[in-house]
Amino acid sequence: MFTHINPLNKPTATVEILIIVIVAYILGYVTHWMVSLLVGGDAFDIEDEEVSFEPDDLQAIVGVTSKIEQILNEHDIYTYEDLAAKKKKELKQILDRSGARYRAHNPTPWISQALLAKNGDWDALARLQSRLRKKK
């Protein structure tokens, strides 16, 4: 009657399922063991690894105050590279959402300063910042 469901006419497939589960467990164990040999230590134990991160001093950018730096940090902007990668429109939206007090700030010069700082061009950064300070 049910030969189309169980073509071998076996009442159950318990033994076959048990064998498949055991083989899968052994393969998983062997794979884990091989990866830990290749990588060294326990490759899947990520919690033991500490990621060291040193944010840049964004207040070194002319126009970035301590509060603006805090706002940028809240939006995952911690380094000169992070800041240089942002578009003026993105930074303006961040400032606009932070309140009326910050809407007046112009983030355009921040991007060029951050790019110079990211590239380590400190002389060009100093010249640019000197010009920016004279405009105020």
pLDDT band, very low/low/confident/very high, at 42 (cuts 50, 70, 90): low
Residues 6+ apart with CB under 8 A from 122: 116
**Residue-level pLDDT at 15:** 74
- CB half-sphere exposure, 112, CA atoms < 13 A: 12
Q: How far apart are CA 90 and CA 101, in angstroms?
A: 17
pTM score, whole prediction: 0.61
Query: Among 39-43, 50-54, 73-77, 114-118, where is mean pLDDT lowest?
Result: 39-43
| pLDDT at 12 (0 to 100) | 62
Q: How far apart are CA 113 and CA 3, in angstroms?
A: 76
- Give residue 84's region: left, alpha or beta (phi > 0; psi -120 to 50): alpha
Percentage of the chain beyond pLDDT 90 is 60
Are the beta carbons of 101 and 71 closer than 8 angstroms? no
Q: For residue 6, is pLDDT > 60?
A: no
Radius of gyration of the chain (CA): 29
Q: What is the mean pLDDT of residues 63-89?
A: 95
Please, are residues 75 and 94 in contact by the beta-carbon 8 Å criterion? yes
The residue ranges of every structural domain in the chain are 14-48, 58-135
pLDDT at 62: 95
What mean pLDDT is predicted for residues 8-32? Answer: 80
Residues 20-32, mean pLDDT to the nearest whole number = 89
Q: Which residue has the higher pLDDT, 98 or 33?
A: 98
Tokens representing 75 are: 């939006």
12 vs 78, which has greater pLDDT? 78
Give the Cα separation of 80 and 110 in Å (integer). 9
pLDDT of residue 46: 55
